[in-house]
Chains A and B, each alone.
Chain A
């Protein structure tokens, strides 16, 4: 599946947060969305997964305007893992993951063996199978995040939208989540704040500043000392790591 935003603007309380952002995620590409806090990453993503309505521009999935699609239709193709928001009512872990099957279900459909198999599989992939009868509320932040990812896996989508999915996670689970996502082999658009994680996983990045996309291209070409200074206002060194052979960023203190 191919996702495209064309000159999308989003206005919240009369303030234009995203300004004519155009981006593209090709089939199975792992694309990063960078930018400092308040640059409009989350807002742009929310307009893509239809929680916010753009004030201008158009968002297309395989060439078709998403406004012409039902929410069910987009939910079958596009899954979302965002910064976790709290729940008022409790479910078991298994119930939670099974809800990923919702877009595939009609009013009177029951959960089939197939659904259970998919949910079990998803839980195994995020290493949470032993937790399936636990109450979701009692899990730690990182565990919850992995369950939400499992739910998106159970949704069996062609594209994942991730909004800082590794926030508050131990490094082990940051890597686990990113590995699971990468191994799915689907298109990914991920807002990330960790530049090294971005360098590890993303093949292409867009950089947002003040709501505008100011740079985009293959990750290693875009992430430069100059760009980081311009966008994040910090000094750093970008160099090839002697062991991994990958580019990595080292930040300098201002003291």
Chain B
């Protein structure tokens, strides 16, 4: 008897290769698109020179000037940031859904988004310097968003642990809801009593996510974090599969459930907090991409995780392109685009496919 060359596995393996190609291609194409017209050859000459130092044309044009600034210092980091955050959020989404065994889970489920919103709103509407002195007073919105996200996460974990017993997914989800509405209440109050219309716009903008602020130095942290996170979870594929079978089955198949769940929770929360403080709250990606990919690739994480990570990157790169160019001279918040594109795809899946979204029929 031999191992069958499972045609489905072969197909999905091929799909991973195709998606890697599409991922790279998306980045290369997205760099050429933008509000300012830059010719295709100019774009690629600049990118080629910066990456490999192969010089085609004048060196001065390739290393300075408006075109160089736009292509290499604005567009490229922005496109890469989109790709990174997309990978990060969809990876977190996949892991979260397995960890809490709940198809509604997304990277923000543990109150991450509401905590980050609270922190960011506080920083924008009230300002850290109005309350704190010293180092805290000088911290920017990103810091407060990160701080808020971690605070909310800690509170959720604490609530879920209260009353003893094992860390169950139901407790985690409920605690996430509680902390979410608590943070939401404070956020709304700050927005309500705040009088500055400009600040209000900044808050809204921030809450809906954007890649505007992407620059090379700001890529470093999300870049490292995404790489490390993805590599770690790629070693956990079998355990993730086992988690989907439910608490009891996972334990009897040798998974130390409480420990794993805690590690995955803390890690995905940290990763999502990094994403949130880098570019605000980009909704829907972490929820939708895992479901769409599961729809054609199945629940096996050996295929699901890499495919979802790549799809998330591709999706966000293109969503950001749309955000940049749909309305001339105006940036549309990324969260609006992701939801506007994502919702119809989701509905299409619900209507057309037999995919059950993890429902129990």
Contacts and interface: CB of A to CB of B under 8 A. Distances in A.
Interface of A: 46, 49-51, 70-76, 78-80, 82, 85-92, 94-95, 99-100, 102-103, 105, 107-109, 111-113, 115-117, 120-121, 137, 155
A70 B242 contact: no
B103 A112 contact: no
B255 A71 contact: yes
Contacts of A137: 356, 361
Nearest to A115: B3
A50 B251 contact: yes
Given A88-B103, A113-B3, A116-B4, A51 B247 contact: yes
Given A89-B244, A116-B2, A137-B356, A71 B254 contact: yes
Interface stretch (B25-33, B74-82, B233-241, B280-288): B233-241
Most interface-central of B254, B298, B358 (chain A CB within 10 A): B254
Given A89-B98, A103-B253, A116-B4, 19 more contacts: A50-B251, A50-B252, A51-B252, A71-B251, A72-B254, A88-B102, A88-B103, A91-B299, A95-B241, A99-B242, A99-B245, A102-B239, A102-B241, A107-B235, A116-B3, A117-B1, A117-B3, A120-B1, A137-B361
Is chain B's interface secondary structure helix, strand, loop, or mixed overall? loop
B254 A89 contact: no
A113 B358 CA distance: 30
Nearest to B299: A89
Nearest to B2: A113
Given A112-B3, A120-B1, A88 B360 contact: yes
Contacts of B6: 94
B234 to A, nearest CB: 9
Contact of B246 (A50, A73, A87, A90): A87
B298 A91 contact: yes
Contacts of A78: 252
Contacts of B235: 107-108
A88 B244 contact: yes
Nearest to B294: A89
B248 A85 contact: yes
Contacts of A155: 253
B164 to A, nearest CB: 10
B300 to A, nearest CB: 6
Nearest to A83: B248
Contacts of B248: 46, 51, 80, 82, 85
- Which 9 A-B pairs have CB atoms at the shortest separation, nearest pair first? A75-B254, A103-B254, A72-B254, A80-B252, A113-B3, A116-B3, A107-B235, A89-B299, A88-B358
Contacts of B101: 88-89
Interface in B1-28: 1-4, 6
Question: Which residue of A46, A75, A109 has the most chain B CB atoms within 10 A of its CB atom?
Answer: A75
Contacts of A76: 254
Nearest to B252: A80
A91 B238 CA distance: 13
Interface string B298-330: 111000000000000000000000000000000
Interface in B204-254: 235-236, 238-239, 241-242, 244-249, 251-254
B356 A90 contact: yes
Contacts of A70: 254, 256
7 contacts: A71-B251, A71-B254, A88-B358, A91-B298, A99-B253, A117-B1, A120-B1
Nearest to A96: B245
B4 A105 contact: no
B88 to A, nearest CB: 21
A112 B1 CA distance: 12
B235 to A, nearest CB: 4
A13 to B, nearest CB: 9
Interface string B65-103: 000000000000000000000000000000001100111
